[in-house]
Amino acid sequence: MNTVEVRFGSVCHKIYLADDLIEQAGRILQRYNFERHALIVTDSRVGGIYSGILEGSLSGARYRVDVAELPGRTAENLDEATRIVVDKANACAFKPGGAIVALGGSTITRVVRSCIATHFKEAFFVKVPTTLFDQVDSSAMRSEIAPRVVLIDFTTLETLPGRELSNGMAEVIKYGVLRDKYFCEFLQENAGAIKRQDHEMLKRIVTRACEIEAAIFQEFPDLRDAERILRFGCAIAEAVQRSDESGQYKYGDALAIAMARLVQIGERIGITPPDVRAKVHRVLKTFDLPIVAGGIDRSRIMSALTDILPVHESEAAGGPAVSLMVPRAMGKVEFVPDIPLTVIEASLAE
């Protein structure tokens, strides 16, 4: 079993990584001090595969266990999903200091965060991610409500649909762009094995992504500085998704488009070398990720982006501008406070 500690300030969150880790969940959680009542939150697809295993492991460790299983696509409706989970918690007399366990992908994690924020602030948050994206998603640790423990069971990737692989690879690639050019080269060189979902290869890339995330938090004791780096691409990705009325782009697709546009923006303002743009575009295309937001009018994306980011008048930019992180080199990004909106809009057309 591998472990990665993510520290910011006096707070420490621990990531455990191994095969068949769900079966060991009860033994691992015994190391932590919380009420011996666990509420598992999952959806019908993931729950049908893993909730029985997790429930057995926790029960075997003498935890009282209840399951809130959200049917179908209910988890996508945050308010409705939160209501169902809260009703289940009340029905089973969930103790405030017990554990709420998110078993599933990023949608389930979002539901659990909502429940903790609104009703169970004293709950011990455990995350058991079952998609590649959620196993490496930095936003979980950046949230005000971050999991105390993350249990990454590599065997869950064996049931991962192919579409979810490319979605998760966008976040994996982002870590290389942020802090490790050799990691990007490794992904490019081993693309065949990764796309075949070779088990050992997936273990390596998930572990490395978690290590990079932890290193960024360690490098920047001020959480705001770490967040600024880890949010690389997030604003443009969110703008793409808000503008995508047809729903053709998953978040990983939108993040890939954002990274591709940011290297274009960086090149236009003289920060990003042309070879970086070529390398980023190549690795994204290798994993079947889009680099342009086809089918979406760029004016819609710009409108969404200016709702997301504060716009300021800048003498240096010669007009309205926003602040963004752009690549300085492979494995290094830089905060640029004054990027003209005209440059961003032009990059969306390329």
pLDDT digits (tens, 9 = 90+) for 229-277: 999 999 999 999 999 999 899 999 999 999 999 999 999 999 999 999 9
Mean pLDDT of all residues in 132-158: 86
Mean pLDDT of all residues in 51-70: 97
CA 287 to chain centre: 17
In three-state form (DSSP H/G/I as H, E/B as E, the rest C), the secondary structure along 63-103 is CEEEEEEECCCHHHCHHHHHHHHHHHHHHCCCCCCCEEEEE
pLDDT digits (tens, 9 = 90+) for 299-330: 999 999 999 999 999 998 889 999 999 999 99
Residue ranges of the chain that CATH labels 1.20.1090.10: 231-348
Lowest-pLDDT range of 71-80, 166-175, 277-286: 71-80
pLDDT digits (tens, 9 = 90+) for 1-28: 999 998 876 778 899 999 999 999 999 9
Q: How many residues does the chain have?
A: 350
CATH architecture of structural domain 231-348: Up-down Bundle (1.20)
Mean pLDDT of all residues in 155-184: 92
Q: How confident is the model at residue 140 (pLDDT cuts 50, 70, 90)?
A: low
Cα–Cα nearest to 272, from 135, 177, 145, 133: 177
pLDDT, residue 143, reads 64
| DSSP-assigned letters across all residues of 227-244 | HHHHTTTHHHHHHHHHH-
Reported pTM = 0.93
Mean pLDDT of all residues in 17-45: 96
> Given a cut of 80, is residue 220 above it in pLDDT?
yes
Q: Please give the angle made by the CA atoms of 144, 147 and 153, to the nearest 5 degrees.
A: 145
Please give the share of the chain, as a percent, with pLDDT higher than 70. Answer: 98
pLDDT digits (tens, 9 = 90+) for 85-113: 999 999 999 988 999 999 999 999 999 99
Q: How confident is the model at residue 73 (pLDDT cuts 50, 70, 90)?
A: confident
pLDDT, residue 333, reads 97
CA distances from 327 to 72, 274, 341 (A): 40, 11, 18
pLDDT, residue 224, reads 84
Residue ranges of the chain that CATH labels 3.40.50.1970: 2-156
In CATH terms, 2-156 corresponds, of 2.160.10.10, 3.40.50.1970, 3.90.330.10, 3.30.70.260, to 3.40.50.1970
